[in-house]
Amino acid sequence: MINFKNRKLLFSTILITFTILLILPSCSKPSSEERIIINEEVSFDYNLEFNDIAIMNSDSLYYELTFDMIGMEFIDMSIEIDDILYNSFKIVDIDSSSQVLGGYIPLNDNNMNIKVSFIDKGIVIADQYHAVPLRRNIEVLTFSNNISSKYFDSLFDKNKFVNNNNIIYDKFKKYDFTKTEVIILNDLDMLSEKMIVELQKFLLNEGYIFVVMNKNIKDNNELSYSLGYPQVKAIRGSSRNQFFSVTDQEFLNEYSFLSKNLVNQSQLYRYFELRDNEEEFSKIMISTNDPLLLEKEVLGGKIFFLTTKIDPNWSNKSFNLVLNDILNRVFFQRLLTDES
């Protein structure tokens, strides 16, 4: 027979045992918060880009790293130039969201090979190589109608690698382009047969021509068969009260960061509307879906056509800065072509 005291002891024992059985499963399994931590994946996603056009007028190369770290407190980043360690530092994760980090790498006059590595606990988990072309002078001839363009004078004074010679075009003169790599035809209203033949020879030797078109539509159209000039239908736009925006199609963004904001700020008041659809050659567009910059392969060389003019009545100051990058992109492409 169990007395009261034994019953009370038994009830207490059963109650304690039952409580323990309830607690044990929760102790043996991680909480919901713990399970999230245990199952969370560890990752480091990144996108590393270099502002290569900077080699045209700068002593350093800007890079931009966009990264997203998950489940990692930090990661080491190292930069090597031609197999020699230049810099190393820790990237610290703050909130596991996408972040942007930028920096500068000094340039030299040789072909540079850059290696960027990401290291976690002594192990390289990702690396990326980047080659910078040889910095050298590019021989340029700029032909203008009757006066030397102040725009190109000021532009090339700042450029360390463009050796430019401004020439007043003479239709009776024969020119030699043997040592020339890029020719700029700035607002010329006509070209002689002699000049056309020399330009065709220049293209056959893989030369580059940049054309700032003239508003003489008839003369421009006559060059469509010999030099691939686009056929102009009309001049669109009338005043600053109406302007058109600009859209880059990765022509600049592929190698330049500086133009991203400038392109959005650029305004065109007038431009040449073309007769034919030249979309396949277009590198930069106007908001009307007309091309602003065409890049054509002609006779083995390349011709770039700008469908507006360097004139405050045709575009604003932001576009003039974008045009600097457009020309630098052409020169940079010239460097890459010579190395291939």
Mean pLDDT across the chain, nearest whole number? 79
CA distance linking residue 74 with residue 92, whole number of Å: 4
DSSP 292-322: EEEEEEETTEEEEEESS-SSTTTB-HHHHHH
Mean pLDDT computed over 296-320: 89
pTM over 0.85: no
Classified by CATH at the fold level, domain 138-339 comes out as Rossmann fold (3.40.50)
Higher pLDDT, 73 or 291: 291
* Residue 316 confidence (pLDDT): 86
CA distance linking residue 115 with residue 331, whole number of Å: 25
* Residue 293 confidence (pLDDT): 92
CA distance linking residue 340 with residue 53, whole number of Å: 18
- In CATH terms, are 43-132 and 138-339 the same topology? no
Mean pLDDT computed over 241-249: 81
CA distance linking residue 284 with residue 289, whole number of Å: 10
C-beta separation of 210 from 306 below 8 A: yes
Listed by start position, the domains of the chain span 43-132, 138-339
Classified by CATH at the fold level, domain 43-132 comes out as Immunoglobulin-like (2.60.40)
The proportion of the chain whose per-residue pLDDT surpasses 70, expressed as a percent, equals: 81
Per-residue model confidence as pLDDT tens digits over 82-137: 999 999 988 876 655 667 888 899 988 888 899 999 998 889 999 999 998 888 88
Per-residue model confidence as pLDDT tens digits over 127-165: 999 998 888 888 999 998 876 567 777 778 777 788 888
Per-residue model confidence as pLDDT tens digits over 286-296: 888 889 999 99
Mean pLDDT computed over 186-205: 89
Query: And the tokens for 243?
Result: 């302007």
Mean pLDDT computed over 234-258: 77
How many other CB atoms sit within 10 Å of the CB of residue 57? 14
Mean pLDDT computed over 186-192: 85
Per-residue model confidence as pLDDT tens digits over 247-272: 887 788 767 666 677 888 888 888 88
